[in-house]
Amino acid sequence: MISDRSDLPHSAGLPLVLVVNGPNLNLLGTREPGTYGTETLADVEQRITVAATRLAVRTEFVQSNHEGVLIDAIHAARGRASGIIINAGAFTHTSVALRDAIAAVALPMVEVHLTNVHAREAFRHHSYLSDLAEAVIVGAGPLGYVFALELLAGRTAAHEATSA
Ligand code: DQA
């Protein structure tokens, strides 16, 4: 599912941040709520959209349970987006292909996990993405995405200021 919430005419020239969510994150709100909380993915995306307006960036959202769909969305961000926020879900711990896609597009990327993966099972401690990330935000719940957007928006603004 791909959705662009930046349909407001005045948002057209703003930098774009792609927000990628991986497998099972479509079930947020009902999936293990004791672990992942009660906010749905739509709630989380709404939070990000509100922050994007404040930070003067555009966002585009993709969620898929299929590795190839996520990889295609990351490829399509090349030349369009100025950064990527990704919660790859369980693919974080398994997918060399997703890592290669992130490396290939060479966009600033922030890795987000709702939970503190380091306080969970050992198989969640390793990420194939972390060493490519500008920052890794774990355990902050849905706010982690907002922190990530703050970081990427600030980076974009700093880049524009130095290249002006
Ligand atoms: C997650 C952590 C992963 O280990 C898990 O497979 C998920 C969600 C998180 O947001 O905390 O699906 O990425």
Its pTM stands at: 0.92
> What are the pLDDT digits (tens) for 99-136?
999 999 999 999 999 999 999 999 999 999 999 999 99
pLDDT at 66: 98
pLDDT at 10: 55
pLDDT at 29: 97
Atom nearest to 116 CA in ligand 1: 11
Ligand 1 pocket mutation pick from 21, 65, 92, 138 by most atoms within 8 angstroms of CB:
92
Which residue type does 152 have?
L
> What are the pLDDT digits (tens) for 6-40?
444 457 789 999 999 999 999 999 999 999 999 99
Determine the structural domain holding residue 53 and report its residue range. 2-7+14-163
> What are the pLDDT digits (tens) for 35-87?
999 999 999 999 999 999 999 999 999 999 999 999 999 999 999 999 999 99
Alpha-carbon gap, residue 152 to 12, rounded angstroms? 18
Question: Is 80 assigned to a binding site?
Answer: no
CATH of the domain at 44: 3.40.50.9100
Which residue type does 55 have?
L
pLDDT at 2: 56
Does residue 90 have its Cβ closer than 6 Å to ligand 1? yes
The neighbour count for residue 22, using CB atoms within 10 Å, is 23
pLDDT at 4: 54
Atom nearest to 87 CA in ligand 1: 13
Quick one: tokens of 81? Answer: 């987006």
pLDDT at 3: 54
Does residue 95 have its Cβ closer than 6 Å to ligand 1? no
Does residue 24 have its Cβ closer than 6 Å to ligand 1? yes
pLDDT at 81: 98
Domain count, the chain: 1
pLDDT at 157: 72
Alpha-carbon gap, residue 137 to 99, rounded angstroms? 17
Residue nearest to atom 2 of ligand 1 (CA): 89
Does residue 129 have its Cβ closer than 6 Å to ligand 1? no
Q: Is residue 5 over pLDDT 80?
A: no
Does residue 40 have its Cβ closer than 6 Å to ligand 1? no
Atom nearest to 24 CA in ligand 1: 12
Alpha-carbon gap, residue 78 to 123, rounded angstroms? 31
